Amino acid sequence: MSKYKVLSLPCSTIELESLNIGEMVYITGTLITARDAAHKRMIELLKEGKALPINIKGQALYYVGPCPAKPGQVIGSCGPTTSSRMDAYTPTLLDLGLKIMIGKGQRDSSVIDAMVRNKAIYLAAIGGTGALLSKCVKKAKIIAFEDLGTEAIYSLTVENFPAIVAIDTKGNNLFNVGPAAFCKL
């Protein structure tokens, strides 16, 4: 674990600002989950002038729709989903205080601009490793939108959940820098 930085949730903006693209982190603490349907519903609530069912301020949000747990398991497979599906909703949530997003794939410029404005980070989790990632989940509980099934909002208590800093608080983007560096080899 020495190559990884430890990110204990909740964390401060100063801690987030110290992270740079390409750094690997182990996340320990409580994060929330939300996918497309939950994001859409949250934004609809805000447009109606209603409160969100969760406090988004300072939160880490994992883009996942976990599979049901088998007997004796806390949660089923819980690999990241494609983050760009949340891009239309994300700047609003960042402006409300969201600090960390975890998913896979590139983000659009409006999300990156909102990240820089709000000193937030985007972490990439490795797709295809959902069964392995589920072993990092110590507790799982639905906290909102239960009717959405696997797309409900969960609270997950995680320990040593691995991720890579893909976009840092300064807007540096591993999805742009990484391929360019590779092409120079």
pLDDT tens track, the chain, 185 positions: 348 899 999 999 999 999 999 999 999 999 999 999 999 999 999 999 999 999 999 999 999 999 989 999 999 999 999 999 999 999 999 999 999 999 999 999 999 999 999 999 999 998 778 888 999 999 999 999 999 999 999 999 999 999 999 999 999 999 998 766 666 65
d(CA 83, CA 94): 14
pLDDT, position 183: 63
Reported as half-sphere exposure (CB side, CA atoms, 13 A), residue 169 has a value of: 14
Domain ranges of the chain: 5-173
CATH, domain range 5-173: 3.20.130.10
Quick one: tokens of 175?
A: 């999805």
Q: Do the bridges between strand 60-62 and strand 121-124 make them parallel or antiparallel, or are there none, so unpaired?
A: unpaired
Assign 3 to helix, strand or coil.
Answer: coil
pLDDT, position 83: 97
d(CA 144, CA 33): 10
d(CA 151, CA 144): 10
Q: Do the bridges between strand 121-124 and strand 5-8 make them parallel or antiparallel, or are there none, so unpaired?
A: unpaired
pLDDT, position 101: 98
Element housing 45 (H / E) = helix 36-47
Q: Contact 157/138 with Cβ under 8 angstroms?
A: yes
